[in-house]
Structure 1
Amino acid sequence: MWRGWFEQQWQYKGWAQCMLLPLAWLFAGLAALRRTLYRCGLFSSTRLPVPVIVVGNISVGGVGKTPLVIYLANALRAAGYAPGILSRGYGGQHTGEVTPGSNPAGYGDEPVLIAQHTACPVWVHPLRAESGHALLLAHPETDVLICDDGLQHYALQRTIEIAVVNRTHGLGNGRLLPAGPLRECLSRLHEADLVVESGQLPDRNSARPTFKQSLQVGEWTSVSDFSARISIQSLQERPLVAIAGIGHPQRFFQSVQAMGLACETKVFADHHAYTQADFIDLSGKTILMTEKDAVKCRHLDLSDAWFLPVIAELKPVGHLQTLTDCVISLLKQREGK
């Protein structure tokens, strides 16, 4: 309830946000102090024996980091690297290695989704340095680590920072928590090595190499077996309800409607742990969902539920070098290769 109210308020600048500004200033001061203490060495920070690429964001909520992590891991593998992936595993209860068959309730939906789409080792732990040590011990062939989220996790030193931004939804009123959705000031983007825009592009050129991320959709796929497909034409003939338990559900609903699929919508909390009870009142309807939701619903034996897989596509903005080339160039430069 309160989260929904805050997310609505974060899109505006009004009296409610002004009342929260003192708390936002306090949050900004504490965040700046914490970062200074890490920079001065008063808070310890771990350097791992292999380079670390952090893919993170400066706002709360989903901005498209997971598709980018999958894209980058597969691109680095194709270039001859042996990446490993670290995740906090939000919503999960366990730590350790994640496989394509791991239970999302135990390890989190995003790590399981990443494991299903990459041939890379994936490790979950809230302390990312500890997670990195454990992954490297289990997979000593790993020569680069990709950290899914963690731009503000300064306890782990990083070789490259990639900041993902969604200006359509993620930046809101441009204020810091709790008056707005920002974890750090917008000026933090100037310190990242690379910026990936998953929403609209800024009016002016970025101070950092910038890339535009779009999501290319696949075919509607069965939630129960992940192999059967269904056409849009077949779906148009059925009573539809679209559900979403993601950071910005309206993006998914708009994508569904853009396909010519008229449907009801139902929103769940981000990282919601689905049970069969969630679908009792949807009996007789065809259910549409995101792939992130599907990995948590696969075991529920839903007979008429379908998800839409997406693949990230990255295009450079204002220069010719690809994201993969930029990352590899920075790795070689900073590792002295």
Structure 2
Amino acid sequence: MKAPQYWFDGSRPPLHARALARVYGAASRMRRRLLRTRKVDRPVLVIGNLIAGGSGKTPLTIAVVERLRAAGWTPGVASRGYGRDDARNPRWVEPVTDPVLAGDEPVLIAARTGAKVRVDADRVAAAVALIRAGCDIVVCDDGLQHYRLQRDVEIEVIDGKRRYGNGLLIPAGPMREPAARSARCDFRVLNVGSAGDIEAAFGEWPMRLATGQALPLLGGRALPLSRFSGQRVHAVAGIGDPERFFDTLRSHGIAVVPHAFADHHRYTPEDLRFGSDLPVLMTEKDAVKCMRFAGERHFSVPVYGELPEAFWIALLDRLAKLR
């Protein structure tokens, strides 16, 4: 679903949206009061955001898993697996798992990290399964609003361009929870994108999304993005903010023919038939759903979340006390 313009352009939301936002807020508060939480016997680290849509959670989740492993932890990732057909059944996710059954982001995380990934609508059950499989810390991808599982550390990811939009609750605005909820998070990470020209506020850790390669979907040697500089390419993005991906390619001197799809779009071969023989560059999240019908001119552009070393020191120090 495409976000309404009034979420981010400053225009006034319609009356019915504002009325529904009040109902949504009241229902959320009631749910929080009635919900029983459960603690598992290993540390739980939750990564999420306060707005609907993407903000950079997946690159941060991948970076956190890799840094935890380097520090001697055995992390496992729990995810709901948004948009998957098999939502009622829990599943272990492998790099070759069909995204239709597991969700695009869990498959991407499994492929990039090699960590154990469990998708389950019940986050508590997913955490227990990961612990039984030998994980000594559970990382919840997009789990900030899933309160039934108690957490030890919360990381909020903020989109540096859009931030909180108009600051109103769904559907009048993009907020899943009021902005005041941010103060209860242990860490606030600001996604500044690839250019890194967005300033982080006090108490925010900047995360830059680094990229520089294009990987052929059919396999083979990675190409530097500079290989496409000065050329026209079809750019495909089915993420929360497609323009961020298009701007990244433009920053490398690439002439972009943009093709924006809804977040978590389920691709068919027809979606990639553009009537010209230009290279097709897409995000990793889109690439995992296009492998079955990829051609030799289809490329994935991976991104890597880079944060200040002081952030990692602070995070690992917090987790060491839990260990």
Instruction: Normalising by structure 2, report the TM-score.
Output: 0.91
Name 1:157's counterpart in structure 2: 150
Partner secondary structure for residue 67 of structure 1: helix
Q: 1:59 aligns with which of 33, 38, 51?
A: 51
1:93-242 pair list within 5 angstroms: 93-94=85-86, 95-137=90-132, 139=133, 141-199=134-192, 200-201=198-199, 203=201, 205-206=202-203, 210-225=204-219, 227-232=220-225, 234-236=227-229, 238-242=231-235
309, 312, 326: which is aligned to 2:314?
326
Measure the CA separation in 2 of the matches of 1:114 and 1:184. 26
Q: 1:295 maps to which residue?
A: 288
Distance 2:149 2:176 in 1: 18
Q: 2:70 matched to which residue of 1?
A: 78
Q: Is structure 2 residue 302 aligned with structure 1 residue 314?
A: no
Seq. identity, %: 36
Change (3 A) 1:283 1:92: farther
Structure 1 equivalent of residue 195 of structure 2: none
Contact 2:231 2:254 in 1 (8 A): no
Cα deviations by residue, 1:89-146 (Å, 9 ceiling, x for unpaired): 1122333111122122221111111111113111111111111122223x1x211100
Q: Distance in 1 between matches of 2:222 and 2:319?
A: 40
2:82 matches 1:90 = yes
Measure how far apart 1:332 and its partner are.
Answer: 3.4
Structure 1 contact 70–118 (Cα < 8 Å) conserved: yes
* 3-state SS in 2 of match to 1:198: strand
Q: Which amino acid letter does the alignment assign opposite residue 143 of structure 2?
A: G
Structure 1 distance, partners of 2:226, 2:315, is 41
Aligned-partner Cα distance in 2 for 1:155–1:19: 31
Q: Distance in 2 between matches of 1:106 and 1:282?
A: 31
1:264 maps onto 2:257 in alignment: yes
- The one-character-per-residue Cα deviations of 1:9-61 (angstroms, maximum 9, x if unpaired) are 20134343455222212222221222223xxxxx2212111110000110011
Shift of 1:232: 4.0
1:69 to partner: Cα distance: 0.7
Match of 1:40 in 2: none
Q: What's the offset of the Cα at 1:233?
A: 5.0
- Cα distance change on mapping 1:53 and 1:294 into 2, 3 Å: same
Of residues 85-94 and 13-22 in structure 1, the stretch that sits farther from structure 2 once superposed is: 13-22
SS in 2 for 1:16: coil
**Consecutive unaligned residues in structure 1, runs of 5 or more:** 38-42, 317-321
Deviation at residue 169 of structure 1 after TM alignment: 1.9
Question: What secondary structure does 2:210 align onto?
Answer: strand
Deviations 1:173-203 (A, max 9, x none): 1111111101111111100011111134455
Q: Offset at 1:237?
A: 6.1
SS at match of 2:189: strand
Q: Quick check: 2:84–2:101 contact (8 Å CA) kept in 1?
A: yes
Answer yes or no: is the 8 Å Cα contact 1:236–1:260 preserved in 2. Answer: yes
Q: Residue 128 of structure 2 aligns to which amino acid in structure 1?
A: H
Q: Which whole-Å CA distance do the structure 1 matches of 2:228 and 2:64 have between them? A: 33
Q: Which residue identity lines up with residue 212 of structure 1 in the other structure?
A: P
Q: Which segment drifts farther, 214-223 or 18-27?
A: 18-27
Change (3 A) 1:154 1:310: same
Q: 2:20 aligns with which of 20, 23, 26?
A: 23
In structure 1, C-alpha distance between the alignment counterparts of 2:56 and 2:32, rounded to whole Å: 25
Change (3 A) 1:249 1:325: same
Range that drifts further, 19-28 or 124-133:
19-28
Aligned residues: 315
Between stretches 210-219 and 9-18, larger displacement belongs to 9-18
Q: Tell me, yes or no, if the aligned pair for 1:55 and 1:162 is still in contact at 8 Å.
A: yes
Q: How much is the aligned-residue C-alpha RMSD, in angstroms?
A: 1.9
Q: Aligned partner of 2:316: which letter?
A: I
